[in-house]
Amino acid sequence: MEERFIATKYRTDCYQCKNITDQAIRAVPYQAKVVCSSCGGTRVFIPKNEDIAKPGQFMKPDCYPVWSLSEEALCRNCGKRGPHELSIGCRVFTVRCENCGFTHFYKFDLEYIAESIADELV
């Protein structure tokens, strides 16, 4: 059983198929992923670094409106379960603990169209 850190979804227009649809969001320590439930368009992000950070510190101007979400998760740094800020753009994906500021920063790695959306979300 792998560690499931973040598992949520966000309803917005897909950058790929342009439909308003649920984008499934998954993050574990070694990978973060966004999958369109309509077209299977998948973006994979890989860890770049992790550190104590201020809100928005790792975000740079991005080519796509950045999604800002809040999600319950267990922080590896302070050990508390509580709200984490998710910021997802087309190049960056960050998860930040609101309690201690510990931030996982992932950078865009690759994108593809998933043949089976269910397979992407296990």
Interacting residues with Zn ion (CB under 5 A): 14, 16-17, 36, 38-39, 41, 75, 77-78, 97, 99-100, 102
Q: Which residue has 């979804």 as its token pair?
A: 9
CB of 111 to Zn ion, least distance (A): 11
CA 96 to chain centroid: 11
Which stretches within 1-122 are classed as H helix?
A: 117-120
Q: How far is the CB of 75 from Zn ion (least distance, A)?
A: 3
Query: Which residue lies nearer to Zn ion by CB, 20 or 61?
Result: 20
CA distance 26 to 23: 10
Minimum distance from residue 73 beta carbon to Zn ion (Å): 9
Closer to Zn ion by CB, 39 or 121: give it.
39
Minimum CB distance to Zn ion smaller for 69 or for 100? 100
Distance CA 106, CA 83 (A): 19
In the complex, minimum distance from the CB of residue 72 to Zn ion, in angstroms, rounded to a whole number = 12
CA dihedral 40, 117, 50, 80 (to 10 degrees): 130
Tell me the C-alpha to C-alpha distance, in Å, between residue 105 and each of 31, 46, 70.
10, 8, 16
CB-nearer residue toward Zn ion: 40 or 93: 40
